[in-house]
Each structure stands twice: as structure tokens, then as C-alpha cells.
Chains A and B, each alone.
Chain A
């Protein structure tokens, strides 16, 4: 059993129709075991009252759902325009050349994270990070620390909203 039936029931009560449970339950499954397993797909299909094949096709459509466990340290680097202009491709190449890449940690590219003011922006596991440089992100993937975390990020953005220097 991947999902907690009591929690599923509680979530179902929030939506007018059960089929809306597909995405929230996929997220729940992924939070619990790190990926979406066959067992999870069957449970979600039953809970949302849709065929398992449909749940499967939803999993493949959305890039954030995974069918296997990710490495413990996972850095996703944005390579969309503002981050590319700040050197994202070089950063990715530099990180990928590091020993341990692909085993102890993974470096993936993603599209704009809506954090272009912090270019080069990234997601370290579930936290928004940036601006990233090679030194900072090397530390990050090695020991999972060293770059401004999400809380700091929010206050930076906030300060900038005032129209002043947020840094």
C-alpha cells in the first residue's frame, strides 16, 4: 500500500469529482516513496475511478512525475533565456564533468522556473536556489548546502518588489 486510505478519503472530500484526485495522489505517492510505482498507479486508478492506463498516460505527460527513484542530491538547472544569458549551459557542462555526477548526484536541465531575477536559477531537490555559479553549485551537489535557500530567496524577491536594491 503506497497511499494512506484515510488521507485519500480526506482529499476526495475536497473535490466535487473524484477524477480530480489523479494529480494530487500522484504527488502524494511520489512524496511517500520517491517515485510513482505500478502499485501506486493501481491505487490511484481505484481512488479516482479512472482506468490505470489513463493514470499511466498522465504520468508520462507531466515531466515532474518519475517512474524510478532519483539520486539523493538532485540539482535541476534552468537553461531558459535569462539563465542561458547568465551562462547556464557552461554551468551544466562544468557540473556534469565532476566526478560522481549521475551517481551520487544528478544534474538535469529544466525550463524557466519563474525565478529569472535570480539567474542562474535552479531547483535543489524541492528548494529554489540561485543565483548559481559553479563554486556554489559544486558545494550544493557535494554536501547539499552553501547556496541561498528558498526562505532567503523569497525575502530577496520581496525586497526587490519595493523597487529598491534587494541585494
Chain B
């Protein structure tokens, strides 16, 4: 079911204008939090809401916030707007079309955790998004929602918009912090976690754009109200980005727990004419493929995991029967081989090796033993052996495809190029 908490007004009015945003109830959460609530009360509402991180892992934001040690060091909030997982495009919409909602969420959340400095990190390709976000921050500052003594309170907050420059790995939270510190985006060894030693070695919370955009409605309506929406264990809404072989690709904000089928068939209009569904990669290129018999799976964190895949950031890529499972693996692996930061050997070397094997399979130059080779490489690279989860991401789809579409891999390994290969590219 569609429910527009975060996307309300988008496409109807220009929410980038602070006047318009305010006329629709915008910044009331800031007014309420700063005038009538303590930081602890705001954090408690977010905890009650059971707001789970929208960046992929679904970790409860309230609990993450509670890990910050109380030791007098400054605290920071960093917003993860790196959005680089192939298939995900809802953060870009929020940043471009509802920037004040994010600013408002950042203010409420920073107040709750006691941060006086927050960074909105946007991937470098978001040229327009960065300009829009900077304008929103300037408007909010002028309106008295940012800066010193906000709304006459003791609370002060400064936000900077910090741009990345083309590195998927900077979406990993510790690499993101390195990037804000002006370094190469290499993930840090954990522990210590960012809550203990994050930005400038101070206690830091990293949350996704969409996660923080949920906070204003939680402040306005209460955590219990939010917790009552959708799946009991994954409450709220989720903006699902759907693309590929569907009639109406786009972003659809759905109540958590909406069946996958409703999204694909109703909202996205179903598979393009004359074709049928082959598989869905529900959390972008790095997720295990799901098949048509799984269309009744509810779109929430736990149900998608129970179905053998994940909700992640809900960037769903839909493939019809013309799509070659080997080609999809090759396209994905080239991405990970290129984006590996190079720090761990299994990830750096393994992704390149898998890419090479897939390229020769796809080109009809494969060997019969290549299928087993791929299976063993999946085991060697995945399974949490690397410093960060990118190593696992790199083989998740491949592992699932080797199970679901093994016959296609075997056919390729015997020199048959895919009968679908030409169609995939001209589709």
C-alpha cells in the first residue's frame, strides 16, 4: 500500500522552497523538539518507533544513538547520502525534491544525540542535489532553524554539505568518515565503531538519508504511532526504487510489509509487454536473486531475509526472461572489481579473478571446470572474510545465480553463448 510520509507533496508543489515546505507543516518537528522536548525525550521516541536503518542493514537508529559514550567529547552526526548501489535511487529523490525534510530530520536527530556539527555527505555525481541541499541549509539558517541558539534555545547546530568524488566504497560508514577527513576512502578496522571513535576520533552517528527523513514524523506524531505502521518488526514506510524490465520504473513509497507482487505488478505496472518475469535483485546488484514464486514475500527486513535475500535499501532490479544470468553476474562483478578499495586480498584479487572467469564464460570461451571454479571462488571471497562487507556483496548475486540458474552457467561453460545475450543488450 502506498503511504506518503516522506514523499508527500513531491511532484505537486516545490518543496525546495522553505515557504512552501513550512506551509505544509514543515519544521514543526524542530519547533516541538527544541521548545517542548529534551534531547532524551526525542531519542526515546525514535527508540519507541523502532526506526530501522534504511541504508541497508536495518539496524535500529535509537539503539545506535544509545551507544554514544558520555565522556565530554564533541559528538557528530554524519548523513550517508553516497547512494551508489546499482538499482538504488530514492536518496537522490529525497535530496533533490524534499531537501528540507532531510534538514529537519538532521536537526531533530542532532539535537537528540547532542551534536552541534553535522555533515551531509553526498556522492560526487549529485551535482544538482548538492546545490539544492546547500540552498536548503542556507534557507533554514536564515529562518533561524540552524546556527547559534536555534529558536532562542541553548542549542546550536551547523551543517555542511560534503561531496564525495566517485567511490562506491565511501558509502561504507567508516570509509565515509575517512572521506570527510580528507583521506582516501578505505574502511577502518572495527572496533572501535564510529559511536566510540568516528569523525575526528569523536563519538559519531552515521545514518542514511531516508532513515533521518523519518525522524520529523516520529517527533510530530510520536514513536508509538510510527511503530504501528506496517510490519510490527519493521515499522514505517520504505521508498522502493524499482527499475529494469517493468512498465513504470520509479520510486514508490510503500508501507513496510507490502507484498513484492503489489509493487511489481500494480505500482510498477508489471513486466513490459510480451515478456515474463525471470528474477528480481531486490537490494540492487549485490543481493541474492528472487524468483517469480517468491512474489508474495512482504517487503520488510525480516521477511526478505527469511526468503533468502534482503530488503537492503530497496533498489529492486527486475529482469525478464530475455536476461542472461551470466551476463548479469559479469556486469555486477565488473562493478565490484572496479570499486574494491584494494585493502584486502580476497576482495581485491578475487573480484578480478571472478570477473575474468565470467567474461570468458559469457564470451563462449569458458571451460567445463569454470562453474566449479566460480563456486569455490564464491566461498573464498564471501562469508565475512574481508574487512568490510563489500567482499560479501561481490559474490552474493553470483552465489544465488549459480544455484538458481546453474544450467545457464553450465551451457556457457560448454561454449554455448547465451541465446539471450543479444537480446539482453538490445532490449
| Complex contact A24–B163 (CB within 8 A) | yes
Task: List A residues 148-165 near B (Cβ within 8 Å).
Answer: 150, 154-155, 157-163, 165
Taken together as a complex, chains A and B put the C-alpha atoms of A20 and B251 apart, in Å, by 33
| Complex contact A112–B424 (CB within 8 A) | no
Is the C-beta of A50 less than 8 angstroms from some C-beta in chain B? yes
| Complex contact A61–B11 (CB within 8 A) | no
Is the C-beta of A117 less than 8 angstroms from some C-beta in chain B? yes
Report the stretch among A67-75, A78-86, A96-104, A139-147 that lies at the interface: A78-86
Taken together as a complex, chains A and B put the C-alpha atoms of A159 and B244 apart, in Å, by 18
| Complex contact B249–A26 (CB within 8 A) | no
Name B241's contact: one of A89, A116, A123, A163 (CB within 8 Å). Answer: A116
Taken together as a complex, chains A and B put the C-alpha atoms of A12 and B93 apart, in Å, by 29
| Complex contact B315–A116 (CB within 8 A) | yes
In this complex, the member of A21, A63, A157 whose beta carbon has the largest number of chain B beta carbons within 10 angstroms is A157
In the complex, residue of chain A having the shortest beta-carbon distance to the beta carbon of B427:
A85
Is the C-beta of B183 less than 8 angstroms from some C-beta in chain A? yes
Indicate whether A116 sits within 8 Å of B182 (C-beta atoms), given known contacts A126-B127, A160-B248: no
Taken together as a complex, chains A and B put the C-alpha atoms of A119 and B245 apart, in Å, by 10
Indicate whether A61 sits within 8 Å of B167 (C-beta atoms), given known contacts A116-B249, A154-B97, A161-B251: yes
Task: List B residues 1-55 near A (Cβ within 8 Å).
Answer: 2, 4, 7, 10-12
Taken together as a complex, chains A and B put the C-alpha atoms of A14 and B160 apart, in Å, by 7
In the complex, residue of chain B having the shortest beta-carbon distance to the beta carbon of A80:
B86
| Complex contact B167–A157 (CB within 8 A) | no
| Complex contact B83–A114 (CB within 8 A) | yes
Taken together as a complex, chains A and B put the C-alpha atoms of A86 and B74 apart, in Å, by 48
| Complex contact B165–A81 (CB within 8 A) | no
Is the C-beta of A113 less than 8 angstroms from some C-beta in chain B? yes
Name A114's contact: one of B12, B125, B160, B327 (CB within 8 Å). Answer: B125
| Complex contact B96–A154 (CB within 8 A) | yes
| Complex contact B248–A165 (CB within 8 A) | yes
Taken together as a complex, chains A and B put the C-alpha atoms of A81 and B282 apart, in Å, by 13
Indicate whether A161 sits within 8 Å of B7 (C-beta atoms), given known contacts A19-B182, A82-B317: yes
In the complex, residue of chain B having the shortest beta-carbon distance to the beta carbon of A15:
B160
Q: Which residues of B contact A58 (CB under 8 A)?
A: 182-184
Taken together as a complex, chains A and B put the C-alpha atoms of A128 and B126 apart, in Å, by 9
Taken together as a complex, chains A and B put the C-alpha atoms of A87 and B297 apart, in Å, by 30
In the complex, residue of chain B having the shortest beta-carbon distance to the beta carbon of A65:
B165
Q: Which residues of A contact B10 (CB under 8 A)?
A: 158, 161-162
Q: Mark B109-136, 1 if CB is under 8 A from A, else 0.
A: 0000000010000011111100000000
Taken together as a complex, chains A and B put the C-alpha atoms of A85 and B123 apart, in Å, by 24
Name A163's contact: one of B2, B86, B125, B166 (CB within 8 Å). Answer: B2
Is the C-beta of B323 less than 8 angstroms from some C-beta in chain A? yes
Q: Which residues of B contact A85 (CB under 8 A)?
A: 244-245, 317, 319, 323, 424, 427
Is the C-beta of A48 less than 8 angstroms from some C-beta in chain B? yes
Is the C-beta of B70 less than 8 angstroms from some C-beta in chain A? no
Indicate whether A161 sits within 8 Å of B182 (C-beta atoms), given known contacts A84-B331, A112-B85: no
The 10 closest A-B pairs by CB, nearest first: A160-B250, A22-B182, A62-B165, A158-B11, A116-B243, A64-B166, A63-B166, A112-B86, A117-B249, A80-B86
21 sample A-B contacts, Cβ–Cβ < 8 Å, listed by A number: A16-B74, A23-B179, A24-B163, A61-B167, A62-B165, A81-B281, A81-B332, A85-B244, A85-B323, A110-B125, A112-B84, A114-B91, A114-B92, A116-B244, A117-B89, A150-B127, A154-B96, A158-B97, A161-B93, A161-B97, A162-B10
